[in-house]
């Protein structure tokens, strides 16, 4: 037989795309359309319904950036269409085929009932099947003219990312608003050919099945009447039945399809637009569920459910009904799909607490798995936190984006820093927006790493990132691929069912230990520094407000614990931990609003804390310590004077002088407090940090060296820093001022001012205080650079085989060498409040109050010594998607802590992030809890969420070893329970003499519920 593949393939492609697809609609009748441009922000349906509309013609430009245009569409189904399937077809002037970053619309009935959304791949609204003919159709369509921020493939900056700079030029030209008859036979023929043709093209050229499909398609095309596509479609379909009926091989891979619509809670659109996106997508999903009874849709992010509940109660009711039917599967159990690296430990716990509670309260469903397909790496505390929240499985996708190394597993046990393991899946289809194309199905089988051990994988299907979700075309593909020779088998099912089957067949899956590091998007640890700082400050202010509110609730008669306010503030902070807000990868509008939200959160939390402290009564000026460690520290009183005070952990103490062991001596370029001596060079860098206690020099070279790198990554500006950034840089060595600015006996400070680049300035106040080896670098930056990356480096004279960086509820060790490509790929890494380097007998920590990114490298000097350099990533200047990212003023502090153990780093990390508070109070109420036992660290103190009055204490082992301790409540204890994160009992705690005994494994998290008598 002659090889006619090329002729056949080209023939099928042309007939399919040029003749069959255009014939899906057999007849059309135009709507009569009127329009009203809503002024400013979106308006409620009632306001739009009462507005005055003007006639609107097709092919007319409409829609300024971020605008809302309401269209009234009226039409009548022709009598001759009776008995046929009639739909409204609307094309707003869609650009490309991605639903999420362009024009979108939600179609309503005139009574305000949302019907369905329209987008490029979902342009229809069902009207009748079958139609009776003569029906009057009257719609109000809310159309959003969102700009295409991705235009030109992120090639350059755009002003469209903020309503303040986007202008008012119309973006779209309305193309179509018709009533139409769907030719169902042609519709199904279109899908038959799509599935067979795509499968054929993925099969090998020597595979008999490929040739069989080709000739079946060729013969079928002979039956297609080009003058009557509709009339011949049934015969063509019948000819394809044998090719579509051959069952899959017995050993075929099984793909569990799960409907999905990844909706970024903000990204290339603001939060207000996400609120509308959720209603549009969820309208589509519930409509699809009515049409396909085998459809199952998995949806995470409780915050998005709440938006729909509040803004579109009729859509919310449809969701509730779909959940009852088993077609809608709440998953993830988190408030939002948060960034996987940057939120603090307690914040991740609250993500689970608020998310899971929402689903339990509103659906009676406890989610079983963590659904995080699109975060930029995942911290090694997740397995334990997930299990403590009652989860059994974890799903991610993003690791497939690794720049250097291919992740070796798709189904595996993920082991966290404490030893907890959770069953984890990483779909080999390599997308969370699958559509069951032939290429995707082939890739899933080809990629699958568990061949020989397991046989199944999961594929989230539906258009996403900006929503859209599954379509009827995707569902039709799934049905055809359920059992088709040459293809993996597709079964649409609940993700819980997939994970149960996967675990049953593969209980001895391989183990991955530690963080799931994404070898890409490393700049998300630094970009949009003010957003990150707002998150860090909010997390610590929430801790402070909860602690002192609990103290007041226990000791101040009449004080009412602010449950509702704390709940609302936590949810605001959790929302802004979404994986495109906190990482800094959103448009300017998002970050402008985030900074304003953080300012409001800070103001309200400050008021709550002041109210709680004030409720303890007036009397004397006291110092309040929110940290879990006792502190001996210099504070500045209201009179401006300094005092050295000692304050127990979680308690207060009077502002009374403690005798310093030594005072601070300030010279022109030196500070000395008897513990350490700090000397500055003429250029303002540190020439020496001498640890008097250890009798050793800390630095191997210039310390606090500010280095400005050229920073243009290969593609994703706000997300990425590529390794070549290191090759071009300028050291900032010109200082316009070096001067002592404070010579208090308890505090000494030297100020260094530098100007550089495009008018940027850095003012640093280097401070040493009595009785503390910690050297603070209070930093103010007025930043006006473009495509630059600023780092602060400390070359430490220490040979450290690994570094330790704080993460959620513990720390992680990373090698300081680059023996392998895995180690070399970690050239930029994340950490929280501190980084520690140590060799036997000595260690040094670098502490911060708001930065997350850093790099660590080492070199061997000519004298044989080793220099291990820690560099903090301070600020960047990407131009896409926010051309003004990080521009303007920044204020933050980082610190060098010589002679530090891990425990010192933990304590000083808390201290720097939780400044002592000076306020009036009457006496010294007992601390809510006191803890005796090294390594036992209290992370949160609050009243129980059920308003029982019980006290909830969350603590963890912070050093990385076993710990024993005793927790002593500041009240009479009736009983104590160990609970999960949702404060549900797991076991009775060991109580003796009114105290709770605790024993923790390394990095174990323990939540205790303490009942008062």
User: What amino acid positions are annotated as catalytic residues?
Assistant: 374
C-beta separation of 980 from 1007 below 8 A = yes
Q: Is 225 left (phi over 0), alpha (psi -120 to 50) or beta?
A: beta
Tally Cβ neighbours within 10 Å of residue 426: 25
CB atoms within 10 A of CB 44: 9
Distance CA 342, CA 574 (A): 12
CB 429 within 8 A of CB 457: yes
Cα–Cα distance, 1009 to 1013 (Å, whole number): 13
**Angle of helix 313-325 versus helix 271-291 axis, rounded to 10:** 40
List Cβ neighbours of 819 (8 Å cut-off, separation of 6 or more).
none
Q: Angle, nearest 10°, between helix axes 271-291 and 472-480?
A: 50
List all residues 6 or more positions away from 264 whose beta carbon is below 8 Å from its beta carbon: 100, 274, 374, 465, 466, 578, 579, 580
Whether 120 contacts 144, CB under 8 Å: no
Contact 318, 349 (CB under 8 A): no
Provide the 3-class DSSP secondary structure of residue 956.
strand
Q: In a 10 Å sphere around its CB, with 0-12 CB exposed, 13-18 middle and 19+ buried, how is residue 564 labelled?
A: exposed
Return the DSSP state at 79: G
**819, burial (CB in 10 Å: exposed 0-12, middle 13-18, buried 19+):** exposed
**What six digits make up the tokens of 1001?**
């494994």
Please state, in angstroms and rounded to a whole number, the distance separating the CA atoms of residues 552 and 914. 19
* HEC-encoded secondary structure of 137-173: EEEEEEEEECCCCCHHHHCCCCHHHCCCCCCCCCCEE
As to burial, measured by CB atoms within 10 angstroms (0-12 exposed, 13-18 middle, 19+ buried), residue 830 is buried
Please tell me whether the peptide bond between 903 and the residue prior to it is cis, using omega within 30 degrees of 0. no
What's the CA gap between 658 and 455, in Å, rounded? Answer: 68
Is the backbone peptide bond immediately before 734 cis, with ω within 30 degrees of 0? no
User: Are 283 and 117 within 8 A, CB to CB?
Assistant: yes
Residues 401, 518 contacting (CB under 8 angstroms): yes
Between CA 815 and CA 973 the distance in angstroms is: 45
Contacts of 491 (CB under 8 A, 6+ apart): 254, 255, 256, 257, 482
Q: What is the largest CA-CA distance in the chain?
A: 101
Element (H, E) at 955: strand 951-957
Q: What is the total residue count of the chain?
A: 1013
CB-based contact 933:911 (threshold 8 Å): no
């Amino acid at each position: 037989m002659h090889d006619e593949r090329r002729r056949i393939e080209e023939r099928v492609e042309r007939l399919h795309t040029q003749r069959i697809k255009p014939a899906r609609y057999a007849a059309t009748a135009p709507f009569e359309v009127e329009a009203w441009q809503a002024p400013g922000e979106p308006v409620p349906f009632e306001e739009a319904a009462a507005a005055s509309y003007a006639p609107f013609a097709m092919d007319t430009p409409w829609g300024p950036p971020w605008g809302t245009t309401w269209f009234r569409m009226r039409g009548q189904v022709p009598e001759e269409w009776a008995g046929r399937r009639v739909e409204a077809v609307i094309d707003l002037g869609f650009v490309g085929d991605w639903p999420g970053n362009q024009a979108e619309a939600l179609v309503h009935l005139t009574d305000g009932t949302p019907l369905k959304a329209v987008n490029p791949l979902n342009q229809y609204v069902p009207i009748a099947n079958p139609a009776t003919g003569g029906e009057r159709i009257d719609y109000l369509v809310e159309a959003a003219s969102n700009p295409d921020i991705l235009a030109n493939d992120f090639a350059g900056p755009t002003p469209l990312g903020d309503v303040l700079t986007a202008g008012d030029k119309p973006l779209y030209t309305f193309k179509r608003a018709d009533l139409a008859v769907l030719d169902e036979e042609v519709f199904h023929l279109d899908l038959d050919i799509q599935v067979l043709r795509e499968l054929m093209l993925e099969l090998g050229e020597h595979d008999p099945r490929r040739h069989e499909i080709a000739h079946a398609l060729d013969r079928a095309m002979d039956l297609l009447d080009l003058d009557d596509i509709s009339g011949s479609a049934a015969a063509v379909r019948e000819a394809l039945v044998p090719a579509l009926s051959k069952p899959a091989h017995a050993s075929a891979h099984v793909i569990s399809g799960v409907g999905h619509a990844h909706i970024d809670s903000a990204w290339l659109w603001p939060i207000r637009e996400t609120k509308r996106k959720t209603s549009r997508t969820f309208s589509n999903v519930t409509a699809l569920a009515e049409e396909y009874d085998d459809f199952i849709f998995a949806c995470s992010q409780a915050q998005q459910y709440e938006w729909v509940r509040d803004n579109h109660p009729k859509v919310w009711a449809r969701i509730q009904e779909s959940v009852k039917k088993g077609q809608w599967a709440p998953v993830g159990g988190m408030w939002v799909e948060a960034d996987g690296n940057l939120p603090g430990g307690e914040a991740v716990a609250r993500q689970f607490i608020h998310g899971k509670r929402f689903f339990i309260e509103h659906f009676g469903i406890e989610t079983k798995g963590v659904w995080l397909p699109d975060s930029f790496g995942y911290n090694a505390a997740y397995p334990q936190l997930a299990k403590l929240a009652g989860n059994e499985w974890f799903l991610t996708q993003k690791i497939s984006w690794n720049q250097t190394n291919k992740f070796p597993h798709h189904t595996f046990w993920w082991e966290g820093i404490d030893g907890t393991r959770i069953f984890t899946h990483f779909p080999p289809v390599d997308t969370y927006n699958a559509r069951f194309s032939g290429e995707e199905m082939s890739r899933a089988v080809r990629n699958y790493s568990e061949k020989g051990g397991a046989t199944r994988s999961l594929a989230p299907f539906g258009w996403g990132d900006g929503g859209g979700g599954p379509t009827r075309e995707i569902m039709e593909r799934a049905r055809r691929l359920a059992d088709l020779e040459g293809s993996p088998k597709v079964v649409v099912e609940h993700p819980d069912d997939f994970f149960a089957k996967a675990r049953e067949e593969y209980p001895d899956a391989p183990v991955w230990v530690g963080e799931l590091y994404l070898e890409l998007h490393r700049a998300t640890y630094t970009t949009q520094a003010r957003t990150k700082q707002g998150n860090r400050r909010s997390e610590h202010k929430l801790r402070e407000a909860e602690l002192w509110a609990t103290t007041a609730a226990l000791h101040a008669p009449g004080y009412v614990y602010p449950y509702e306010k704390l709940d609302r503030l936590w949810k605001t902070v959790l929302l802004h931990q979404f994986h495109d807000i906190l990482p800094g990868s959103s448009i300017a509008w998002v970050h402008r609003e985030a900074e304003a939200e953080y300012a409001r959160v800070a103001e309200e939390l400050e008021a709550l804390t002041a109210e709680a402290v004030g409720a303890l009564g007036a009397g004397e000026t006291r110092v309040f310590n929110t940290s879990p460690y006792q502190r001996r520290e210099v504070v500045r009183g209201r009179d401006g004077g300094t005092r050295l005070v000692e304050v127990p952990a979680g308690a207060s103490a009077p502002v009374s002088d403690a005798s310093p062991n030594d005072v601070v001596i300030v010279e022109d370029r030196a500070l000395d407090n008897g513990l350490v001596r700090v000397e500055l060079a003429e250029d303002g860098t540190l020439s020496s940090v001498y640890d008097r206690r250890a009798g050793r020099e800390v630095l191997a070279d210039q310390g606090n060296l500010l280095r400005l790198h050229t920073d243009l990554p290969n593609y994703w500006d706000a997300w990425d820093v590529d390794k070549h950034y290191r090759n071009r840089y300028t050291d900032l060595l010109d200082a316009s001022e070096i001067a002592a600015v404070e010579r208090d006996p308890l505090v000494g400070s030297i100020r260094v001012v530098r100007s550089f680049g495009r008018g940027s300035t850095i003012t640093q106040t280097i401070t040493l205080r009595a009785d503390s080896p910690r050297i603070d670098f209070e930093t103010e930056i007025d930043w006006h650079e473009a495509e630059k990356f600023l780092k602060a480096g400390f070359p430490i004279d220490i040979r450290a085989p690994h570094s330790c960086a704080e993460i959620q509820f513990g720390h992680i060790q990373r090698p300081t060498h680059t023996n392998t490509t895995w180690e070399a790929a970690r050239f930029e890494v994340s950490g929280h409040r501190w980084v520690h380097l140590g060799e036997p007998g000595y260690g040094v920590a670098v502490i911060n109050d708001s930065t997350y990114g850093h790099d660590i490298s080492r070199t061997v000097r000519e004298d044989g010594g080793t220099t291990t350099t820690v560099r903090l990533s301070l600020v960047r200047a990407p131009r896409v998607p926010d051309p003004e990212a990080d521009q303007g003023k920044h204020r933050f502090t980082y610190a060098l802590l010589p002679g530090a153990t891990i425990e010192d780093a933990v304590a000083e990390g808390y201290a720097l992030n939780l400044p002592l508070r000076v306020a009036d109070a009457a006496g010294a109420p007992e601390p809510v809890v006191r803890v005796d036992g090294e390594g036992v660290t209290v992370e949160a103190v609050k009243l129980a969420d059920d308003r029982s009055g019980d006290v909830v204490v969350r603590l963890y082992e912070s050093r990385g070893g076993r710990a024993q301790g005793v927790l002593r409540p500041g009240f009479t204890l009736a009983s104590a329970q160990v609970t999960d994160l949702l404060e549900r009992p797991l076991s009775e705690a060991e109580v003796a003499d009114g105290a709770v005994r605790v024993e923790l494994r390394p990095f174990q998290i323990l939540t205790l519920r303490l009942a008062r008598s």
